[in-house]
Amino acid sequence: MSDAVAPVELIALDQPYDGIISARRDGEPGFWHVHDVADGIMAALSRGVDLVVPAAMFAEIRDSFPPELPPYIKIR
């Protein structure tokens, strides 16, 4: 995936409501959440961009991700 294009970024779990993951993507103001990790992955794949996940969030929900992380999922 390209670093020159704004990634999908996961921000916070259960925000703005339980079961939702707050998310954003620069240049796409209507993009503000995903339903779960799979939805976040699909959002990134459909846009051809990386999925950026905060390290603390990743540690909390590691089991929701594939065992082998694909290169487009970035933990920061």
Domain assignment present for 62: yes
Find out whether 65 and 21 touch, Cβ atoms under 8 Å. no
Confidence category of residue 72, pLDDT binned at 50, 70, 90: very high
Region of residue 65 (left: phi > 0; alpha: psi -120 to 50; beta: else): beta
> 43-53, pLDDT tens digit by residue?
999 999 999 99
pLDDT for the residue 16: 85
Residue 62 has pLDDT above 80, yes or no: yes
The reply to whether 65 falls in a domain is yes
* CB 53 within 8 Å of CB 73: yes
Total domains, the chain: 1
Structural domain contains residue 1: no
The pTM for the full model equals 0.91
Token look-up 């925000």 returns 15
What's the domain range around 22?
Answer: 8-75
pLDDT higher than 90, residue 61:
yes
For 34, phi then psi, to 5°, come to -130, 160
pLDDT computed for residue 40 by the predictor: 98
Q: Does 3 map to a domain?
A: no
- Note whether residue 33 is domain-resident: yes
